[in-house]
Amino acid sequence: MIIELLLWSSITLIVMAGCYNTSLFLLSRRRIRRTRTDRRERFYVFLLACLNEEQVLAESLARITSLPAGNFMALVIDDGSDDRTSEIALTADPNLVRLHRRTPPNARRGKGAALNDGVRHLRESGLLARHDPADVVLCVVDADGRLDPHVVQSVDPYFDDPRTGAVQVCVRMYNRHLGLLARMQDMEFVVYGDVFQSARRFIGSVGMGGNGQFMRLSALNTLDGDGPWSDSLTEDLDLGVRLIAKGWTNMHCTTAAVSQQAVLSLRRLVRQRSRWFQGHLQSAGLVPLILRDVPTRPALDMLYHLSSPVLILLTSLLPISFLVALGATVMASVQVGHALVSPMWLFGPYVLSFTAAYTYGYVYFKRERQLGLVRCVLLAHVFVFYGYIWFFAGWWGFWRMLTGKQTWLKTART
């Protein structure tokens, strides 16, 4: 009886999620028509919060300094590194790259604290003195981030609208060719950006990611607290919600991307996603703010998004329930000497589990045409099993939250 209840409860949740995902897919197919107004000269500042990033920093800085934009700089925030991170930053073009060192006991207190200190340094150093905060755009880039050369040209038109507070670009994996695990991470970010984020442009609930987020300085100045970023494990999610609550519009740019390094170790990937999951659980504290200050339509979508950790934990029971039910059926069939159910009985679980694979395969094919549609759909079937990583990561993150553990090791670069 308990197994049957869990099975049907999980099926109900999956059907509800499927309906929601389908509606977002249809909404994401719409296109936004934009016309440029008189262009204002904006100053772009790329923020790189770094902790022992000697493996990847030089390549990222080389790409930033070669951008065909004329009015920008990069600020490397060394968060107490004990490798060559600062040395690499100092060897970059001094006209375009500045270094801000954080030292103990203030260093290594999280990415949010490092970014807040970087913004504080920009204000106090006078680097932004000649610029109107409304015309200053800060971009958070991970140390392994590789921005498309045209990223500024793609993002800049969104800020013509004075209501736009932030723009998130697409995220890709630059080493996606190095095995199936890397390919699955690339598909994960493509699907999230091209379906969920694209649809949320029309709902008003676009979220910010930890890499490739562009924010107007005047929008950040309206946020409460010691700085724009919180000490949450998912400070980017927190920031996006608080911007919307202040009346700003978040947008998603589909024509430019930042590429980052996929995690090639399954154990490291589960640990990374557990950290994200725990941070997502911490974001439950944003619910009162959403209910109070966010309009109804985006508020409903945000509340659903914030409830996803609970839904993941609940739906994680479905594979267990299905395997138990399947095992019991097989044992009973052996005892009576014939099959108790038709092989077509497996068709239902297939439809329930893999219908989305055809949609996701099509979405990924639009970005990776050289793979072919059939191969992308087959990869999307594997992607369904890849999603089980979130079940393991979710329970790990939930356990850490229950036991009061908040510290995490950063994901190692290779």
Evaluate whether residue 204 is within a structural domain.
yes
The pLDDT, as a whole number, for residue 94 is: 92
**Distance (Å, whole) CA 332 – CA 336:** 6
Evaluate whether residue 253 is within a structural domain.
yes
Evaluate whether residue 302 is within a structural domain.
no
- Which residues, including other chains, have CB under 8 Å from residue 375's CB and lie 6 or more apart? none
Compute the 3-state secondary structure of the chain and give helix, strand, coil in percent, each to the nearest 5. Answer: 55, 15, 30
Evaluate whether residue 19 is within a structural domain.
no
C-alpha distance from residue 216 to each of 23, 124, 173, 204, 366 (Å): 30, 18, 26, 17, 31
Is residue 261 a contact partner of residue 177, using CB atoms and an 8 Å limit? no
Evaluate whether residue 293 is within a structural domain.
no
Is residue 152 a contact partner of residue 44, using CB atoms and an 8 Å limit? yes
Evaluate whether residue 398 is within a structural domain.
no
The model's pLDDT over 187-228, given as tens digits with 9 standing for 90+, comes to: 999 999 999 999 999 999 999 998 999 999 999 999 988 889
Q: Measured at the alpha carbon of residue 397, what is the angle toward residues 288 and 306, in degrees to the nearest 5?
A: 30
Q: What is the CATH number of the domain that holds 162?
A: 3.90.550.10
Range of the domain at 87: 44-265
Mean pLDDT of all residues in the chain?
A: 90
The model's pLDDT over 264-314, given as tens digits with 9 standing for 90+, comes to: 999 999 999 999 999 999 899 999 999 999 999 999 999 999 999 988 888
Q: What is the pTM of this model?
A: 0.90
Which strand ranges, in their side-by-side order, compose the sheet holding 146-147? 97-102, 72-79, 43-50, 136-140, 213-216, 164-173, 249-260, 146-147
Evaluate whether residue 34 is within a structural domain.
no
Q: Which pair of structure tokens corresponds to residue 347?
A: 């068709």
Number of domains in the chain: 1
The pLDDT, as a whole number, for residue 311 is: 86
Evaluate whether residue 117 is within a structural domain.
yes
> Which parts of the chain sit beneath pLDDT 50?
none
